[in-house]
Amino acid sequence: MKLNKTELKIFLDEKVLQYNHPKFIESDPIQVPHQFSKKEDIEIAGFLTATIAWGNRKSIIKNAHRMMHLLDNSPYDFIMNHKEADLKALLPFVHRTFNGYDFIQFVHSLKHIYRHHDGLEAVFSKYAESNSLQNSIHHFKTHFFEIEHLERTKKHVSDPLKNSAAKRINMYLRWMVRNDNNGVDFGIWKSLSPSQLSCPLDVHSGNVARKLGLLKRKQNDAKALSELDKALRKLDPTDPVKYDFALFGLGVFEGF
């Protein structure tokens, strides 16, 4: 599909309007943090949901709701005030390769982030660059695992500086930072700007981006993400990741 830049922007902007809509929530993992109203609950629920967001979408949503249930549907309170005995209930949890031991490690690490680093938003803000949060993701991972941890759990937090596209964390950052005025993304992290975000790059968005001429690189890695970022920033420098809705919608719902 060969469109010039103006045609491409018009086409994608229309798709953003179509998919960046409250009814998108019904079939998307973002519905899980949407059950909460307190900032810390939203950001923790969002982070845990994004962490297991790979594979079948129905099973992602089901298991993310189960995670919230295991945290007494009060994730921040559970993380900050749990007793060791409370963690036993998390042990049977499993989603793909993320298991109960990983879940417990995440509880410990999140408590550490809130207690010693002023919370999730503060960590990502501290290391943000003017046009990228990939450095922030790297430093977040460092702080997340600076306490005693299981080596196996580290694979569940991506590192862009090791050439990962970090799809799940970039999706999470979109949820937290981008205010779409449509009630889908939360926009509760005011210290960061949508212009710093990167598009969550996966099989669907990558394939659509290549068909539209936004991406040439074959692998979905950090280098491809950088290439896609540049292309999307040309279309809208202030809100480049709104096009995630277009690329994802075209790929998943339209089989583009």
Give per-residue pLDDT as tens, 138-187.
999 999 999 999 999 999 999 999 999 999 999 999 999 999 989 999 99
Taking the C-alpha atoms of residue 108 and residue 30, their distance in angstroms, rounded to an integer, is 23
Domain that holds residue 23: 5-253
Of residues 204, 172, 199, the one with CA closest to residue 185: 172
For residues 152 and 217, is the Cβ–Cβ distance under 8 A? no
Query: What percent of the chain is predicted at pLDDT more than 70?
Result: 100
Average of per-residue pLDDT across 225-240:
97
**Paired strand residues for 132:** 129
Taking the C-alpha atoms of residue 176 and residue 46, their distance in angstroms, rounded to an integer, is 8
Q: What is the pLDDT of residue 2?
A: 73
Helices 167-177 and 134-144: angle between axes, nearest 10 degrees: 100
Of residues 16, 13, 6, 73, the one with CA closest to residue 248: 16
* Distance, C-alpha 25 to centroid of its chain: 15
- Give pLDDT tens digits for 66-115: 999 999 999 999 999 999 999 999 999 999 999 999 999 999 999 999 99
Which secondary-structure segment (H or E) carries 227? helix 222-235
Torsion of CA 236, 165, 215, 23, to 10 degrees: -60
Average of per-residue pLDDT across 212-238:
97
- Give pLDDT tens digits for 175-213: 999 999 899 999 999 999 999 999 999 999 999 999 999
How sure is the predictor about 37, in pLDDT bands with cuts at 50, 70 and 90?
very high
Rounded to the nearest integer, the mean pLDDT of the chain is 96
DSSP annotation of 129: B
Taking the C-alpha atoms of residue 169 and residue 52, their distance in angstroms, rounded to an integer, is 10
Split into its structural domains, the chain has a count of 1
- Helices and strands in the chain: count of H runs, count of E runs: 11, 2
158: left (phi over 0), alpha (psi -120 to 50) or beta: beta
Supply the pTM of this predicted model.
Answer: 0.96
DSSP annotation of 146: S
Is residue 1 pLDDT above 80, yes or no? no
Average of per-residue pLDDT across 20-39:
96
**Paired strand residues for 99:** 94
